[in-house]
Chain A
Amino acid sequence: MLWREIKFLVAKEIRLELKQKYVINGILLYLVSTIYVTYLAFENTITGETWNSLFWIILLFVAVNGISKSFVQESPARHLYYYTIVSPQAVVLSKILYNLLLMAILSVLSFGFFLLLMGNQVVNIPLFLLTLVFGSLGLSSVLTMVAAIASRASHNFSLMAILSFPIILPLLAVLMKVSHTAISSLDWSGLSSLLVILLTINVVVVALAYLLFPYLWKD
């Protein structure tokens, strides 16, 4: 039942996104122009460490921009309509899944642009791609939840940033540490504990979203 609702809602999100192409195009342009600005600003001074930091900071800003619209794009009346026909858990899980898809695409694209403009610094490509998968899941689940919280308050765009930056830090710190390993060595050893922590954060956040979202959904 829940799974059917989620599938239906994710399909709805995708259709909505394809219908209003300017939103996704806006995020893509934001991504490319931010990377280009940093490329010009950091000309010839890119080391592995700056590459890593820049990549994740840009991805964080792109994610905040892309996900903040999750609960404000549609009208309150339409939310009321969803409220009568689907469960709140299906709503939040479908948003997380959809944002995961979006973040996966955006993170791969920004990796591509980084390769194009700033050269390749990554030694261990499979590990880096794995980090991108975990990163997309983490960013999408934490930021979807924050977007839901911020959408209940006024001036929600600036609120989105101040609410999400501090609580995304634990995730971002682990991600940057793993991807730093991917940049500096081919070695996979010593990573298992970090990957377990990353997975745990993701599972806990999704579970919390599942449990807490119904309170945000009801007025």
Chain B
Amino acid sequence: MLKKDWWKYLSGVLLLYAIVVGFFVDIPDSMIHQTMRNLFYHVGMWFGMFSMLITGFIYSLRYLRKFKEAEDLVAVEAVNVGLMFGFLGIFTGMIWANFTWGSPWVKDPKLNGAAVGLFIYLAYMILRGSIDDVQKRAKVSAVYNIFAFFLWIVFVLILPRISGESIHPGKDSPPVLPMHLEPSMRFVFYPAMIGWILLGFWIMNLRVRLRKVRLKLDS
């Protein structure tokens, strides 16, 4: 049991650590004061969303190679969990933005990237809903997922760099990795990120299993 599920325990421990220590750790004094602690939670949502959407993309590719229904189930649930992270990321970001920039939503390439990502994947869900045949739905949505993922990556990774007017941190570094992080915060930040990603895989895993059980009950 521990051998197979160690990562679930690890996720729980890391997140507990991040939530408890995240509120006690020393943070540098800056213009945004205590709201800096949101870094451990808001950025984690983005990491979770990104890892889920990449998983969905990979499983869509795999589905198109062998046409196994199980891989389509992983793809759709990965996108579902990715959407959940996306919404939570936007909400935690709005709270933070309200403190730091004085308004919950500002016009910024990074925020637009997040919003467009939500639109793309909500459309994916609607596309799935509008096809009744199971195999056709899996195939068509896999094609859309692969196609949309590429264009979304272009939007999120390249455009903020060329437009050069982002006020959101993390512009010149690899996606959203904060460059100038205090050492004390690093000890919370990295474990928290790993914890959020693992939690995403855990939720996805549960949802895929639930779907498989439902499929069995139906047939």
A, B from the same assembly: yes
A153 CA to B116 CA, complexed, in Å: 22
From known contacts A162-B126, A219-B136, infer whether A212 and B143 are also in contact, taking CB-CB under 8 Å. yes
Query: Which residues from chain A contact B126 at a C-beta distance below 8 Å?
Result: 159, 162
A171 CA to B155 CA, complexed, in Å: 8
A107 CA to B178 CA, complexed, in Å: 43
Interface size class of A (residues with CB under 8 A): 20 to 34
CB distance from B17 to the nearest CB of A (A): 37
A150 CA to B148 CA, complexed, in Å: 13
Q: Are B163 and A177 in contact (CB under 8 A)?
A: yes
Q: Which residue of B lies closest to A190 (CB)?
A: B162
Q: Are A167 and B127 in contact (CB under 8 A)?
A: no
A150 CA to B126 CA, complexed, in Å: 11
Q: Are A204 and B150 in contact (CB under 8 A)?
A: yes
Chain B, range 162-219, C-beta contacts under 8 Å to A = 162-163
Query: Which residues from chain B contact A159 at a C-beta distance below 8 Å?
Result: 126-127, 130
Q: Are B154 and A170 in contact (CB under 8 A)?
A: yes
Q: Are B127 and A153 in contact (CB under 8 A)?
A: yes
Selected from B119, B123, B136, B163, the residue in CB contact (under 8 A) with A152 is B136
From known contacts A163-B123, A201-B154, infer whether A149 and B159 are also in contact, taking CB-CB under 8 Å. no
- B144 at interface, CB cutoff 8 A: yes
Chain A, range 159-177, C-beta contacts under 8 Å to B = 159, 162-163, 165-167, 169-171, 173-174, 177
- B139 at interface, CB cutoff 8 A: yes
- Residue pairs across A and B with Cβ atoms less than 8 A apart, 9 shown, are A142-B151, A152-B140, A159-B127, A167-B151, A170-B154, A170-B155, A173-B155, A197-B154, A216-B140
A-B pairs with the 4 shortest C-beta distances?
A: A166-B119, A170-B155, A153-B130, A166-B120
